[in-house]
Chains A and B, each alone.
Chain A
């Protein structure tokens, strides 16, 4: 089992409580503290980490590039949904895209009259979205990115509306233009798998919740279990500990049921917890294998 270090704890996200989230924000306010935890994880044998295009993660990455006392590969999650939602609430869709278009990164559009930018955008939404994606990803490209993972809100919204073109365009653009391995995050694994099968698309890399209580395994734990068993793409199990609500032992026993889950994300932030997880999850898998 390949253990991937999650990043939520470093940007103050706790699925348990806001108090814990605030404690995490305090603890990881200083980027050095993030670096130390990741360094400890690397020493213990963690080789991969999830990051997202969040300013805090960019600070960490820059610090990592300057110091680099260990090696780590990264999975990059896009887009920074909270940031976009905040801007959209203020400015609406047009305003958000206008802002994206006017950023320095989109050379072709800078200097254009607002009206023209909007007209161009109306003709080619995909190129606008692609430019936004490229702009968002570019500061993170100095490290080894194993895959780009599309945030679950984006994936699941597109899935709910069954917009096949958006999936094919994303897959193509990430592979061809960004030269990265495209992947997705979804809380609706069964629908995800069924849709890719229906569209005749190869089952891609997907990160999805797999845990003993069936939390966020939609539409039901049983249906997701069946879908996982005959999925031919790579699966990264997430929410395996329910943000701390489930024990490592309980989770380990559950994950052992699936021999095609080779990767899982864990969100530990102390040496003791990192050790406990790698000891239980990795050892058991070796025993099992």
Chain B
């Protein structure tokens, strides 16, 4: 089988990561990279003579014979790049979040695009969260009553520099950059949200929130809370920790481990406490550069292309996170309790 040809827009950290992964997988190859920064494109030219380099992404998607486009640029550029890639009929992978706002997502969804799409909410590909999903979906511990959660990292303790801290370019602060992972995972684990009440605080950045607290009521009546911040000291890596209280037990899950407390002895689950570390739950991947989840994500996209399947986080699914984020920001701005309306 001929390899699927990949073009990457944006050769930053995530762009290089996906370039490397797709280039090393059996069914795909890196064909082209585009980036405005000549420094990086010239470096790619000198070290990867087989990869076509463009300064302008439109040149790349118009001129190169590509199957997949990978968009890893700042979020304010996503919508235009996605819509241009749709016009070329490409399979589209875009790093999270899908777009700046629900309005932009609506524009993307209105195209009714029927090629595979995937948004890089990588926690869907981490085995600890997937085990939590399996237990919740099986209802072996009953229904979810309540959860608390935090998403923290030590990133900002002074005014941040760059597009990430300009709301016109980023869509917001800690919530959209970091907390979007949590919101997406809530959709994956708990389903749709019905009601939101949130507060935020700005300390280090002038224009975007550094701390945020949200209460969420789900359509199946589960109640949850989320604390998000990129200004929590001593969190070297981002951590999304969720304590999930079910009818017959408790699940605590992070990127690194899952602890299950069960009051029943049933099938997969033993009565009492059980902890699994990611090291024990691992899945083999053909290439691991910065975590197996990124490879699993890219393999999933290839599998969906080759077998004509929908991905588990396509544009419709990922847009839901943008819609929720919009409502959280409305709740903060208007000091209101917001009803969710997924315009998907």
Contact = CB atoms under 8 A, between A and B. Distances in A.
A15 B24 CA distance: 26
A82 B236 contact: yes
Interface string B1-28: 0000000000111001101110110000
A18 B239 contact: yes
Most buried by A among B38, B241, B256: B256
Contacts of B142: none
A122 interface: yes
B256 A213 contact: no
Nearest to A242: B279
Main secondary structure of the interface of A (DSSP, over half): helix
B21 A160 contact: yes
Given A166-B47, A219-B285, A118 B13 contact: no
Given A90-B162, A122-B38, A219 B287 contact: yes
B287 A218 contact: yes
A91 B13 CA distance: 12
A254 interface: no
A153 B284 contact: no
B203 interface: no
Contacts, number: 129
Given A90-B161, A157-B17, A18 B288 contact: no
Contact of B20 (A22, A160, A187): A160
Nearest to A156: B289
A21 interface: yes
A86 B236 CA distance: 11
A15 B277 CA distance: 9
A192 to B, nearest CB: 11
B286 interface: yes
A220 B16 contact: no
A94 interface: yes
Contacts of B46: 125
B39 A93 contact: yes
Interface of A: 12-18, 21-22, 25, 82, 85-86, 88-94, 97, 118, 121-122, 125, 153, 156-157, 159-163, 165-166, 187-188, 191, 211, 213-216, 218-221, 239, 242-243, 245-246
5 contacts: A22-B235, A88-B13, A90-B160, A94-B39, A216-B282
7 A-B pairs closest in CB distance: A160-B20, A242-B279, A245-B279, A245-B277, A160-B24, A215-B279, A219-B286
Interface of B: 11-13, 16-17, 19-21, 23-24, 30, 37-40, 42-43, 46-48, 155, 160-162, 164, 234-237, 239, 241, 254, 256-257, 277-280, 282, 284-290, 292
